[in-house]
Structure 1
Amino acid sequence: MRRLPEWVDAAVSRYLVHTEMGVSIRQIARAGECHASTVLRQVRKLETRRDDLLVDQALIRLSIQISQHKSNIRYKETRQMAEKQVQDDLPDTQTLANEGRRILRRLCENGAVLAIAADMEKAVVVRDLPDGGSTRTAVVDRPIAQAMALQDWIACKTEGRISRYCITATGRTALNRLMAEDENKAQGFAETQAVFADAHLGEGLEAGPSRRPMRFNMADSPLSALARRRDRSGNPFLAPDLVSAGERLREDFELAQMGGRANKSWDKFLAGHDRDTYRPDPGLNDGAKAAQGRVAEALQELGEGLSDVALRCCCMLEGLETAEKRLGWSARSGKIVLRIALIRLSEYYRSQAGGAGRMIG
């Protein structure tokens, strides 16, 4: 029998002990020093939640972790299908926290949903655009999505061949807690300074011991905020194709970090050094290498100045005022430079597609 991840709560543990190991509800209640009716309500609630695809598969994964004989597991799908879908364990606490910050922040954006199909290895976060289209803003490993559903951070909004999930009130509370914990550790309030998988994103962008953690509105990105503004003629300050170009750069940037911690040559590239001689990290998988290469090529096309503001505002989600201060620019100049950078970036992506629009996937 293997230990469950630390983030699994007592209700899920009691449910698995009862359904998979055959321990009676009264025995579980005595061990947990609670009333038997409490355990019964928890078991019934989780049994009802198994109608959710992600919750059901998360419980199957946990069942396999604690069961010595897979034949004792009560699969909702056939055994062959279930074993195919649960080859990997659910994430540990630290991985879930890191991914939770990244994904929940994206799901807080207006019109954002997490979409997943039964035969998809990964889920995607997509967001509606003002022109009626949509754009992909993040990619999520299936075990991460299952853990988030089991934690009630996301809930199924639309069932079907492709199920769509939205962030819940519990998910928003969890995001606030995760962001607060991250800031406290960055400012030295925690007893032990933790090292997160995404901590390298800010390295090299600000030298000196006085560097402060980046701040931004978790429910909004700089691009979506600018897209809602109007110019003097009443037109949107950022057209939908410019927002899509920035989101595409952000998507590649996130994919480039999925292979692990970036190497020093990538850090130097982010800091503006050795951009002409940059080579992707050979230790990453092919998808992450390709994503790093696409980011490098796009920023090289923008050149110095334009690439700096695109990197900070599109990829790092820095606010315009913060970016202006760190780059030494005058106030209210950042939005103009960012708009120019997005126009050039949009033209670059169109030229890469031979003049055609971006295809899904």
Structure 2
Amino acid sequence: MNDIGDTARQKLRVVRFLSAGAAHARPAAGRGTVLLDGGERGTISASLGALSALAREGLVAEAGGLLSLSQEGRALAMRDRHPQEPFRAQHLELGTRMVAMEGGEQVVPANLAESPLAQLARRRVRGGQPFLEEGEFRAGERLRADYTRGQIMPRLGANWSEAVASGQRGSSENGIADLTDAALAARRRVDDALTAVGPELAGVLIDVCCFLKGLEKVEMERAWPARSAKVVLKAALGALCRHYEPQPRARRRTILHWGAEGYRPSLR
């Protein structure tokens, strides 16, 4: 029993180490032991028995001397990382986000794979810079938070030309009479934001930030050319960011008039 328990602990140790990246397998001085070299992450020792068991179970794969976790191994690592919700965690990409709440910003747990905006924020352009600026990402998340807080639940085929605060976009059970002051204020903030960006850009913000539609789905529904949705979305997020975080206007430069001494006419 002790050997079984020790092997299980070693297997989990290897899975945790490889969850941060692949590692080179190198010979160790001890018999029946190998070293897993993760580069800057350091080196750990692992028994051949634990590695063989992981390989038999399909949790670890080897290619060109590199050991890495398989898809099943990554799922195991996610379950180990979130013991309170292990089987939910293996299907999610859990992380944290800063969300604007009443009274300030708050860090909340989030599924980073859920939001197409979060996936787009992780993309890099050719020069290595992120495709979305931090302010653009914050603006999209802020719109989504207000949209959710405002309990805006549009029916199929809703008319987006109606103002959000009027309650016409939602169902009859979700009218103004049933809204709290906080929800009503959130609806007004959404309405102000969409008005600020204009009708040409409001639709893609609602689709991606609030309805969590993928970019390809948006392009298909709107009959847009391929890879055009992310360009329009970035322009919309830029306008939304300027609405939420307006930049101070540059001060006007004072025009100075210089003259030689005694250039003013004398008054008699």
Task: Give the TM-score band, short-chain normalised.
Answer: 0.3 to 0.5
TM-score normalised to the size of structure 2?
A: 0.48
Structure with the largest fraction of strand: 2
TM-score normalised to the size of structure 1?
A: 0.36
Structure with the largest fraction of helix: 1
